[in-house]
Structure 1
């Protein structure tokens, strides 16, 4: 099946290069181009593409505003192009909140120096997001964050906060198939004194993690580690964003950080995060032989060795199967593994790998995972 693509960018050079790269794949057809956000909306309505590639900075209307309008009027998977800077990370995260499925670095040098690698990456992304749950007539973009009426209290290290006010949360489901999806496909979670909650995710993960973590109280009793496939330039900005929205604390992990209740440590992009038996994280250089940096399998596997049956692992939306072998090690040690259900995933790849390998102790919809974490760990 041919994937029809609309290319949106105000740079004529970039439009041509992206169109040439995509058109070289016989299973992809560029059916139109646009030079700004307003044209993108008109073309999306007229041409009904399967995928839209979108720049951010454009005249008349920027890419994020265009994504919001497209998601409201003709939901379509959008691949954003982003600069590898702190500001680029912030903009990209805003675009994902608006409804974009995934992103790629916008690096002109790579296009000229390594065209084969760029072609492979771009075409793979287009094919994968064309199968995402973003193309749904009933889709509505995530609701805007509503700020809490008062500052959110944070527990002191090792301390607890009671009756914390409601944090900023998003209540709009990522996707719906017309009829309401069941709240979960598993029963009540197994309650236990877990020493660690480990969450792994990829495509669709930034919004999914935000949805889960904003449901946790400031006195959440277990340490948390997060592994999100993301470039090195993005993870610090993402951790800062989560920290502002959540009642728990969130930070980009550094070598030697100590696990503690109410703190979530995000694996830094381009590196690997492992857990040692003393309850500290170890940040190691990214191995070029590994596809993912950070890699969920590595973090899950180290947690299995360090904490045995006291880990609760959660695999959220994402393409591929990263996390499956780490989950297998956790299961062998007696730990629990949950998977996000298909209906609420942007890409049902990583959770599907868990389910098909019979490693899932429970399968929950995205909007139920946070509350089940609270139930299980309390």
Structure 2
């Protein structure tokens, strides 16, 4: 994998370089000391992955991410001294297409790795699996009959990945306080950032947004967001649960796993939406839901940060509508009113 480093601190660059050297398959494509240089180098030699510093003089990592994802898109991970202290900028960068964020690794003594080095390598390995990979064949979409029935609210299920927070903010900010459906969101995001994303989204919408906990039920007017590195799924008694399986599936939490579970156990026909993102996760689940009579929507190419998952859905003829986030919100409001 060709990996570029963008950082104005020589010590941080050396720490990143040494971590990458521990994996023979990782190659440092180029090094840039600022955002302007990174944008120019990426246009000439687009790597598989960029490890992007957040705070830099001149053009910072947020603006560099925005320009790179617009001009020469590739996978980007934000690397900063403290993800927690820079949470607002981290989410801004993710809105422009950064996949993840991690603390800058610290070189251990005598070649020993500290936890930040291990965390970085794990994230790079996961992204390596995501690039150009199709969903594993072991995701089984055979349907089982639900064991119990409850009075279920209308349901909107949304899956998103790269650039998803921005698209979600656009959609949720347009929904009214009396919105008449339950909303479940599966966003590809590390568990350590999920609660922060919920807090951020709660500031943008009159709806209540909460993390999904095992045993919860989806409620009318409540937005429930998957919040662990395991897969969220619906059980036969219509409560939510988390599962580690499939254990080697790189998309965590998986949209396909959740879409499959609601296809199995949600007895009413709802609406499913697949937003911007790298790879193909969610496309087959969206197709399955459409085959069961659900109204399905994919985000259009022009508004996507990465037109991967929606394109896969369009290629499978899984989407009834292909819309930008503003139009998706309008469609959801219309369908909510009609179905009351």
Name the CA distance, whole Å, in 2 between partners of 1:351 and 1:65: 24
Indicate which of 69, 78, 82 corresponds to 1:81: 78
| Corresponding residue for residue 369 of structure 1 | 328
| Number of residue pairs aligned between Structure 1 and Structure 2 | 302
CA gap of 1:57–1:115, structure 2 versus 1, over 3 A, is closer
Q: What CA deviation, in whole Å up to 9, does each residue of 1:256-310 have, x standing for no partner?
A: 2232222110001302212245543223446523222211111111111222342
CA RMSD of aligned residues (A): 3.7
Q: How does 1:14-163 map to 2 (within 5 A)?
A: 14=15, 16-17=17-18, 29-30=29-30, 32-34=31-33, 39-41=34-36, 44=39, 48-49=43-44, 50=46, 53-58=51-56, 60=57, 63-64=60-61, 66-67=63-64, 71=67, 77=73, 79-82=76-79, 86-87=84-85, 89-97=87-95, 99-106=96-103, 108=105, 109=113, 120-121=125-126
Look up the SS of the partner of 2:209 in the other structure.
Answer: strand
Decide which moves more: 256-265 or 213-222: 256-265
1:206 paired with 2:165, answer yes
Question: With structure 1 as the length reference, what TM-score do the two structures score?
Answer: 0.67
CA gap of 1:81–1:338, structure 2 versus 1, over 3 A, is same
Name the CA distance, whole Å, in 2 between partners of 1:268 and 1:254: 8
| Corresponding residue for residue 152 of structure 1 | none
Q: How does 1:258-297 map to 2 (within 5 A)?
A: 258-276=217-235, 278-285=237-244, 287-297=246-256
Q: What CA deviation, in whole Å up to 9, does each residue of 1:30-64 have, x standing for no partner?
A: 2x420xxxx43256458855466421244x45835
Q: 1:85·1:234 contact (CA, 8 Å) conserved in 2?
A: no
1:12 paired with 2:7, answer no
CA gap of 1:277–1:310, structure 2 versus 1, over 3 A, is farther
Decide which moves more: 77-86 or 226-235: 77-86
Question: With structure 2 as the length reference, what TM-score do the two structures score?
Answer: 0.74
Indicate which of 198, 205, 213 corresponds to 1:239: 198
Indicate which of 185, 188, 193 corresponds to 1:229: 188
CA gap of 1:286–1:14, structure 2 versus 1, over 3 A, is farther
1:347 paired with 2:301, answer no
CA gap of 1:44–1:322, structure 2 versus 1, over 3 A, is closer
Look up the SS of the partner of 1:282 in the other structure.
Answer: strand
Q: 1:56·1:80 contact (CA, 8 Å) conserved in 2?
A: no
Look up the SS of the partner of 1:14 in the other structure.
Answer: helix
Look up the SS of the partner of 1:292 in the other structure.
Answer: coil
Q: 1:86·1:237 contact (CA, 8 Å) conserved in 2?
A: no
1:255 paired with 2:255, answer no
What displacement does 1:118 show?
6.4
Q: 2:169·2:201 contact (CA, 8 Å) conserved in 1?
A: yes
